[in-house]
Amino acid sequence: MPSLAAPRHASIPASIVALALFVAGHRALAQEAAGGELWTERWQSARDPRRARVDALAARAEASLDEAMIRDAELNMAARMASSVFAYEEQRRSRALIDAALRDARAALSLDPAHGLARYVVARVRERLDASPAETIAACNAALASLDAQDRERRALLAFSLGVSHTRLEQHALARDAYETIVDDPSAPGRATALCNLAEVHMYLGEVSRSLDRYRECSRLMPTNATAYWGLAVAHDRAAHDADSRIAADRAVSMDPDLRDILGEGVFYVPAYERHYYVAIAREAQGRRPGESPALVAALAAWRSYASEGGPSAPWIDRVQAHIRAIEVELSLRARPSPSTRAAPSPRALRAPPAPRGASSRR
């Protein structure tokens, strides 16, 4: 999302950055607790220098990748305050780190083509550089085949990338399988974000009740995140739970008045016209407030865009047409002046007798 992609539509780059930050922080704490390089690792290096060289290259590649992701996250959070010069310099440094990560990972793979960590870095870098979904899927599957089964954190990040890439290709059953490897583990990193994206995938598959269950679980884990409530609003609407949909949409718009979680950078929808459904739900929520008829007009336009771009066979077209009819009636009623605001005839007009037919005016 937004897929969240949300489609969800979920803000995908932001979600991936959040997962990367979690993993980087966790890894740093683990290294600190271990007191740096262990003597067993030094002994292994002495016994197998070639293996030690590969491991060192892969570890350095991952460190560069982690630092680049952290820089991107910090820049994203400070975007409103940062000058264009500062932003350019940070982006340049981030790209240099990504290039270094890829260079070291490829050097490691030249010595050991099946090295799990090096393959992991390559897969993450491909995604970071906007490789095609098919290329990202291939790289992620190669990394998963080489990583240790107990490496839950890196496997979760790769599974998340697979979910996003399969969603972009409209391979929703495969996306569901990828996300479920994360959400089925209660302690997996990034589980809440994966839940929101999985809920949207269930929606694509027509599994509305399962989508609602996942969105409810996501909202419990992220009660201050509007993404889950936008998803709940749409899922309830498609299940014809009108009152519940309005409650969820009102809560979402109170947390996200600028609609960043459904219109922000990095949010994508599959198919593209799905975006109009979320926008229409949001504008309706805004239009329910007093004096917000323009928002209701915008909602009507969004519903009509969905119907036009999706055509008569679009999913949920019956719900869309129902919204269009309801808003047209509501706008018609709002346009009528209320009895208290209609202009009353003047007393003189009430007392004046009708003019005789054919009477001429006085000269």
List, as own/partner pairs, every contact residues 199-202 make where C-beta atoms lie below 8 angstroms and the sequence separation is at least 24, other chains included.
199/8, 199/231, 199/235, 200/1, 200/3, 200/4, 200/5, 200/6, 200/7, 200/8, 200/9, 200/10, 200/167, 200/231, 201/3, 201/163, 201/167, 201/172, 201/175, 201/176, 202/176
Q: Which residue has the higher pLDDT, 78 or 162?
A: 162
Sign of CA dihedral 133, 138, 139, 140: positive
Please check whether residue 15 is in contact with residue 160, taking contact to mean a CB–CB distance below 8 angstroms: yes
Residue 27 one-letter amino acid:
R
pLDDT higher than 60, residue 314: yes
Structure tokens at 240: 């014809």
Average pLDDT, the chain: 81
What is the per-residue pLDDT for 281?
Answer: 98
What is the value of pTM for the model shown? Answer: 0.76
For the chain, give the percent of residues with pLDDT over 70: 76
Cis peptide leading into 294, omega within 30 of 0? Answer: no
Residue 160 one-letter amino acid:
F
Instruction: Give the residue ranges of DSSP H helices in the chain.
Output: 12-34, 39-47, 49-77, 84-111, 116-128, 133-146, 152-168, 172-183, 191-204, 208-221, 226-238, 242-255, 260-263, 274-287, 293-310, 317-335, 347-351
Residue for token pair 């995604």 = 127
pLDDT digits (tens, 9 = 90+) for 78-131: 655 455 656 777 788 889 999 999 999 999 999 999 999 999 999 999 988 889
| Per-residue pLDDT band at 10 (split at 50, 70, 90) | very low
pLDDT higher than 90, residue 71: no
- How far apart are alpha carbons 326 and 322 in whole angstroms? 6
Which DSSP helix (H) or strand (E) runs through 129?
Answer: none
Query: How many C-beta neighbours within 10 Å does residue 145 have?
Result: 10
Q: Which of 91, 127, 76 is nearest to 265 (CA)?
A: 76
| Highest mean pLDDT of the ranges 62-71, 198-207, 262-271 | 198-207
Rounded to 5 degrees, what angle do the CA atoms 196, 198, 199 make? 65
Least confident of 12-16, 201-205, 227-231: 12-16
Residue for token pair 């000058």 = 83
User: What is the pLDDT averaged over residues 173-180?
Assistant: 96
Question: What would the DSSP string read from start to end of 342-363?
Answer: SPPPPHHHHHSPPPPTTPPPP-
What is the per-residue pLDDT for 70?
Answer: 83
Q: Which residue has the higher pLDDT, 317 or 347?
A: 317
Look up residue 314 and give its DSSP letter: S
Reduced to 3 states (helix: H, G, I; strand: E, B; else coil), residue 146 is: helix
Please check whether residue 53 is in contact with residue 111, taking contact to mean a CB–CB distance below 8 angstroms: yes
pLDDT digits (tens, 9 = 90+) for 15-34: 444 454 455 555 554 554 44
Find residue 335's DSSP bridge partners: none
Reduced to 3 states (helix: H, G, I; strand: E, B; else coil), residue 270 is: coil
pLDDT higher than 50, residue 146: yes
Which CA distances in Å does 151 have to 23, 64, 72, 155, 335?
A: 11, 19, 25, 6, 62
- For the 12-253+263-270 domain, the top CATH level (class) is mainly alpha
